[in-house]
């Protein structure tokens, strides 16, 4: 057999394999309407293959119709949700192209409606008409959202005494989220304004009528509604002793509110030149300095640099240079500059001099 014939056979085999692979993928589509029969545009529809760690989400168009990109065959959990509506759940066997329609029911519980909101909508609803309210809102934003989203802090109600107790704790907890002990130095801005801040938050998210004014927001439409989202599950830090590999409140059911960061490893994310997902880890742990996620399979790999305390060096911030290397803040015992060569997976630490503030 000639080299040309061999090359043709290889090309033919590759073409057949590619065709078979595409043939195994199927289209999932459907329509979504309210109970009144109104077609709903911009509804988020999600699908997750059983046993997979990857969730794919799309939006409905102006006719209330959604269409997923081709998905691998198998059994899927599917669900649809929009602000102000209960989540609707379903299941499909995607051995051939399938259509699955949803009818969404309006959510009547005002607290569950509020917990659905993204953080930016909650913050926009906080009062700021007076100079005092504007100052408290700024203090809240500058001091209470450093290591978690605004929606986590605002999703529950407390009276003034309850908010003051929360401030007692959080004014000494750094951005790592680790309580440093009873002798830790307080955040002086929060210390000085604690009483006013607790009263402000109690008026907004206390037991009485709220001072917040939530404005509605249009759902995605037009070109924005053509976006496809991919969500990757990441394992929890086993050292925290939570007892589950993945967080049961993974953010895909908005009515459950914003989950705690306890046990979560990722902090900042970036894409490699080949599409690989990388993340830093700012929480104390034994095995992760930089994490990487295969965008096709969802497989997770951890890269570690040793810290002086025997744990993994923690990292913060992430940016990519033109060569594809990733740069970040790293703390092996003293704050430094870190570099990841994405080709070799080698982490290099450029330590700051002792004369420089850490």
99 and 151, same domain (yes or no): no
293 and 340, same domain (yes or no): yes
C-alpha torsion angle, residues 64, 82, 233, 237 (rounded to 10): 180
143 and 83, same domain (yes or no): no
Residue 256 belongs to some domain of the structure? no
For residues 254-272, give the mean pLDDT.
92
pLDDT in tens, 264-292: 899 999 999 999 999 999 988 999 999 99
Which of 204, 231, 254 terminates a domain? The answer is 204
Residue 239 belongs to some domain of the structure? no
Residue 212 belongs to some domain of the structure? no
Give me the residue label for tokens 């917990």: 115
Residue 329 belongs to some domain of the structure? yes
Give me the residue label for tokens 């911009």: 42
Position with higher pLDDT, 5 vs 243: 243
141 and 94, same domain (yes or no): no
Q: Report how many domains make up the chain.
A: 3
Residue 135 belongs to some domain of the structure? yes
Which of 204, 226, 247 terminates a domain? The answer is 204
82 and 132, same domain (yes or no): no
Residue 3 has pLDDT above 60, yes or no: no
274: containing domain: 265-351
pLDDT in tens, 184-232: 999 999 999 999 999 999 999 999 999 999 999 999 999 999 999 999 9
Residue 217 belongs to some domain of the structure? no
pLDDT in tens, 145-168: 877 889 999 999 999 999 999 999
101 and 146, same domain (yes or no): no
Which of 187, 204, 221 terminates a domain? The answer is 204
Alpha carbon distance 136, 141 (integer Å): 9
100 and 131, same domain (yes or no): no
Residue 209 belongs to some domain of the structure? no
pTM exceeds cut of 0.75? yes
Alpha carbon distance 142, 63 (integer Å): 42
- Domain at 281, CATH number: 2.40.10.500
Residue 256 has pLDDT above 90, yes or no: yes
90 and 133, same domain (yes or no): no
- Domain at 88, CATH number: 2.60.40.10
91 and 130, same domain (yes or no): no
Residue 279 belongs to some domain of the structure? yes
41 and 123, same domain (yes or no): no
19 and 64, same domain (yes or no): yes
197 and 122, same domain (yes or no): yes
- The answer to which of 133-137, 150-154, 167-171, 257-261 has the lowest mean pLDDT is 257-261
- Diameter over CA atoms, the chain: 87
3-class DSSP string for the chain: CCHHHHHHHHHHHHHHHHHHHHHHEECEEEEEEECCCCECCCCEEEEEECCCCEEEEEECCCCCEEECCCEECCEEEEEEECCCECCEEEEEECCCCEECCEEECECCCHHHHHHHCCHHHHHHHCCCCCHHHHHHHHHHHHHCCCCCCHHHHHCCCCCHHHHHHHHHHHCCCCCCCCCCCCCCCCCHHHHHHHHHHHHHHHHHCCCCCCCCCCCCCCCCCHHHHHCCEEEECCCCCHHHCCCCCCCCCCCCCHHHCCCCCCCCCCCCEEECCCCCEEEECCCCCCCCCEEEECCCCCCEEEECCECCCCCECEEEEEEECCCCCEEEEEECCCCEEEEEECCCCEEEEEECCCCCCC
């Amino acid at each position: 057999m000639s080299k040309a014939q061999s090359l043709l056979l290889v090309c033919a085999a590759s073409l057949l394999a590619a065709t078979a692979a595409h043939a195994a993928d199927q289209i999932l589509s459907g329509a979504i309407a309210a109970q009144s029969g109104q077609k709903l545009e911009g509804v988020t529809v999600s699908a997750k293959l059983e046993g997979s760690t990857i969730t794919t989400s799309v939006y409905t168009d102006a006719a209330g119709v959604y269409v997923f990109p081709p998905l691998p065959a198998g059994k899927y959990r599917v669900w649809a949700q929009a602000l102000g509506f209960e989540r609707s759940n379903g299941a499909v066997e995607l051995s051939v192209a399938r259509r699955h329609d949803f009818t969404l029911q309006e959510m009547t519980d005002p607290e569950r409606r509020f917990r659905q909101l993204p953080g930016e909508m909650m913050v926009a609803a906080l009062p700021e008409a007076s100079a005092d309210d504007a100052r408290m809102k700024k203090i809240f934003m500058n001091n209470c959202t450093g290591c978690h989203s605004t929606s986590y802090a605002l999703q529950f109600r407390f009276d003034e005494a309850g908010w003051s107790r929360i401030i007692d704790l959080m004014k000494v907890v750094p951005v790592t989220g680790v309580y440093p002990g009873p002798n830790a130095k307080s955040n002086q801005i929060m210390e000085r304004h604690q009483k006013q801040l607790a009263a402000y938050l109690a008026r907004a998210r206390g037991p009485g009528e709220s001072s917040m004014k939530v404005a509605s927001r249009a759902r995605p439409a037009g070109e924005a509604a053509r976006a496809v989202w991919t969500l990757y599950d990441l394992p929890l830090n086993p050292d925290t002793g939570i007892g589950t590999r993945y967080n049961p409140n993974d953010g895909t059911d908005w009515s459950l509110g914003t989950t705690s960061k306890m046990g979560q490893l990722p902090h900042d994310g970036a894409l490699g030149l080949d599409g690989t997902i990388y993340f830093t880890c700012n929480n104390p742990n034994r095995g992760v300095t930089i994490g990487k996620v295969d965008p096709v399979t969802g497989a997770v790999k951890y890269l570690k640099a040793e810290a002086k305390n025997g744990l993994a060096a923690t990292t913060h911030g992430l940016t990519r240079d033109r060569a594809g290397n990733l740069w970040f803040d790293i703390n092996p015992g003293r704050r430094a500059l870190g570099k990841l060569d994405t080709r070799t997976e080698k982490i290099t630490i450029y330590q700051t001099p002792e004369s420089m503030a850490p």
